Structure 1
Amino acid sequence: MKTTALHRFPPFSVHLFETLPSTNQTLWNLLDQGAEPGTVVIATQQTAGRGQWGRQWYSPAGGLYLSVAIAANLPAQQSFQMTLCSAWGIATALRDRRIPVSLKWPNDLILGERKFGGILTETKVQQGKITQAVVGVGINWANPVPETGINLQSFQANQPSCPIASLEMLAVVTLLGIVSGNEYCSTEGIETLLPSYQKLLTTIGRSVWVNGCRGVIVGISPTGDLRVSLCPGQSVNSVAAQEIYLKPGTISLGYG
């Protein structure tokens, strides 16, 4: 990762909790009371965590649940950049510490082909511009996980070293990853970041079916869509195409 000065972010104001309904919602409440960008809410359990598209985020005790307010200067239609940049930043920060995290489009962190964490970005918009943004992250530290998941403590137990020695260290690395990823995207642009993001994707080259047509995942577009190259002779909605773009939520990529 290119080192950049984190000039857009003030000193952090960190609020720690054992249990919350939702770190994102608590942070929004603080912003409504006048909190500034750089405010952080951290909990080790959520009782009403939220995921993408209104899904419930399973958040048992022992995990890292972190939300940070970011000063975004983006048109509303580019809000996806904050999720992609945050995911890339966190994965890169952890990989710098020998934790081989990869990514699953658009918002999942992967470790050992299992789900390690996820990201939920929420924004408030006025006159087509993002006025406030909250990036929420859930990462498995020592909490129980489903069969498709993995936590960091169990992964490190089978490694020769333990580069992330505590939940506090994981929180610091995660927070700095979010900040660095968004700062890099702000200064260099999403087009510059995308090649590095795509190198961390677990699904490049995977075959997928879209409306009965077979294709291969080839990358991510500058608008955050999944790029799928259709196999010869395939068409979608009776229209022949070499490549199609899929919006987040229109296809399930699974794990493993």
Structure 2
Amino acid sequence: MDTRRALLDALVDGPVSGPALAEDLGVSRAAVWKAVESLREEGFAVESAGDGYVAPEDPGYSAAGIEFGLDVPYVIEYHDRVSSTNDRARELAAGGADGIAVVADEQTGSRGRLDREWVAPSGGVWLSFAIRPDAPPARAPLFTLAAAVATADACREAGVDAHIKWPNDVLVGGSASGTDTDADPTGRGGRKVAGILTEMEGEADRISWIVPGVGVNANIDAEALPAGAASLQEELGEPVDRRRFAATLLERFAALAGTPDRMDRILPAWRERASTLGRRVRVDTSNGAVTGTAVDVEPPGALVIETDEGIRRVHAGDCEHLRDTGD
């Protein structure tokens, strides 16, 4: 662990003296001072007190702010503005990097699935993982589902009752069970507050790298949102703590997909947070539309649909929640 990250971890427990930290880490006091100055330059305003260095009351939305108290090994690369966190994470992963989360306040060239436009102004949580997991390509969809679960959990911790529409849209409003049509008069399942875009490169037997990218409409004004979208700020009536939100998302993702032995937890966690199961759906696939009742999700993320012609398993497509058999 570098001196900067060690200093951040030490500050969580209260004031820490430079000499004590230097001794614990086996580095010079000058190295500790350099780490303090580096944090201050990032906007993490470390204060000097009589008993040592003290963390700021408001750590801020920055690399240091997100890493402060973070209980996962990810390194944060923060940008005030970037074309796309996915593009940057893909560049890092292709170059051999692993365990990096690229975070931006604003994206200028973001995109959604199928190259659809995704509005990503300042105030959102735009985050992409650059990871090189020990997993075969067949398990790649599980990382997308894990990112959706982590995002839904972060929304819920922030006070917004979010749920997942297969495979990876995080929604608010509507009816999670699909039975309350008054709560969801459109029958479409709710308004989109977050989405996931995953890109990867692999060999026959293993993933070379994978980049699950998460876009969350956090503190975005309603008028800046496209039709059918929502923001956390709009739902709460006040801004969300993006630093805490990002940290929760990172921690939940690591708990589900951080190591191969944890990945069996992903599908059960996804099922618990999904609003698609038990609902009538229409999924537009490359081979046409599949309409029926979504009854399960099977490894590595296929939606099981009970149709009039029998059971169908759909691995990819655009899913729409239907209100009744007439839709």
Please say which of residues 59-68 and 47-56 is displaced more in the overlay. 47-56
Give 1:154's aligned residue.
234
Contact 1:125 1:131 in 2 (8 A): yes
SS in 1 for 2:130: strand
**CA, structure 1 residues 217+168, in 2 after alignment: closer, same or farther (shift >3 Å)?**
same
Give 1:74's aligned residue.
135
**CA, structure 1 residues 98+58, in 2 after alignment: closer, same or farther (shift >3 Å)?**
closer
**CA, structure 1 residues 59+118, in 2 after alignment: closer, same or farther (shift >3 Å)?**
same
Contact 1:94 1:100 in 2 (8 A): yes
Higher RCO (CA < 8 A, seq sep 6+): 1
1:10, 1:92 → 2: CA distance?
16
Contact 1:10 1:37 in 2 (8 A): no
Give 1:21's aligned residue.
83
1:34-49 matches, cutoff 5 A: 34=96, 36-49=97-110
SS in 2 for 1:149: coil
Give 1:187's aligned residue.
261
Matched length: 230
SS in 1 for 2:118: coil
* Offset at residue 212 of structure 1 (A): 7.5
* Offset at residue 96 of structure 1 (A): 4.2
Q: Deviations over 1:39-83 (max 9, x none)?
A: 121112212113223333222232111112223111112210100
SS in 1 for 2:319: coil
2:291, 2:101 → 1: CA distance?
43
SS in 2 for 1:176: helix
Structure with max Cα Rg = 2
* Offset at residue 142 of structure 1 (A): 1.8
**CA, structure 1 residues 69+255, in 2 after alignment: closer, same or farther (shift >3 Å)?**
farther
Equivalent in 95, 109, 122 of residue 199 of structure 2? 122
More helix by share: 2
Give 2:162's aligned residue.
101
TM-score by length of 2: 0.63
* Offset at residue 254 of structure 1 (A): 5.5
1:140, 1:212 → 2: CA distance?
29
Runs of 4+ that moved beyond 3 A: 31-34, 208-214
Equivalent in 237, 253, 256 of residue 320 of structure 2? 253
**CA, structure 1 residues 155+39, in 2 after alignment: closer, same or farther (shift >3 Å)?**
same
1:130-145 matches, cutoff 5 A: 130-143=207-220, 144-145=224-225
SS in 1 for 2:292: strand
SS in 2 for 1:128: coil
RMSD after superposition: 2.6
2:279, 2:88 → 1: CA distance?
39
* Offset at residue 172 of structure 1 (A): 1.5
Contact 2:159 2:236 in 1 (8 A): no
User: Any unmatched runs of 5+ in structure 2?
Assistant: 1-70, 174-189
User: Any unmatched runs of 5+ in structure 1?
Assistant: 1-8, 236-240
Contact 2:202 2:208 in 1 (8 A): yes
AA at the equivalent of 2:279: R
* Offset at residue 11 of structure 1 (A): 3.0
Give 1:238's aligned residue.
none
TM-score by length of 1: 0.79
Give 1:204's aligned residue.
277
AA at the equivalent of 2:195: G
Contact 2:106 2:123 in 1 (8 A): yes
1:61, 1:176 → 2: CA distance?
23
* Offset at residue 165 of structure 1 (A): 4.1
1:212, 1:48 → 2: CA distance?
31
